[in-house]
Amino acid sequence: NAGVTQTPKFQVLKTGQSMTLQCAQDMNHEYMSWYRQDPGMGLRLIHYSVGAGITDQGEVPNGYNVSRSTTEDFPLRLLSAAPSQTSVYFCASKGQVHSNQPQHFGDGTRLSIL
């Protein structure tokens, strides 16, 4: 049981490039989310999904797109990378949307934008 898997673990981009951060979970979880972690700011929610075909914005959605075509996968897309998007990105999931279950986190993607 792999849990939440994120790829790649590290990435360096140039300003203006695009890329997709991958996230997959094998626990049949309904709820999936993306956070960014910046020094002194904790985790901030970018986008989340409550099921296949349903996504919504979090606290800091600008510059990011998501889709949820399957229960397992929840990719995060940067259409035109900016230095302000340099951060560590975490994907997380939990079983049922309306529950008090904790979220399970991936190991993160460390992204640098030059």
Partner 1 sequence: GDSVTQMEGPVTLSEEAFLTINCTYTATGYPSLFWYVQYPGEGLQLLLKATKADDKGSNKGFEATYRKETTSFHLEKGSVQVSDSAVYFCALSDQNGQNFVFGPGTRLSVLP
Positions that interact with partner 1 (CB under 8 A): 4, 31, 33, 35, 40-43, 45, 48, 50, 90, 92, 96-108
CA dist 51 → 23, 67, 70 (Å):
14, 10, 8
Nearer to partner 1 by Cβ, of 14 and 102: the residue is: 102
**What percent of the residues of the chain are helix, what percent strand, and what percent coil, each to the nearest 5?**
5, 50, 45
Q: Which of 6, 2, 63 is nearest to 33 (CA)?
A: 6
Minimum gap (Å) between residue 113 Cβ and partner 1: 20
Minimum gap (Å) between residue 53 Cβ and partner 1: 17
Nearer to partner 1 by Cβ, of 59 and 77: the residue is: 59
Nearer to partner 1 by Cβ, of 41 and 79: the residue is: 41
- CA–CA separation, 13 and 32 (whole Å): 25
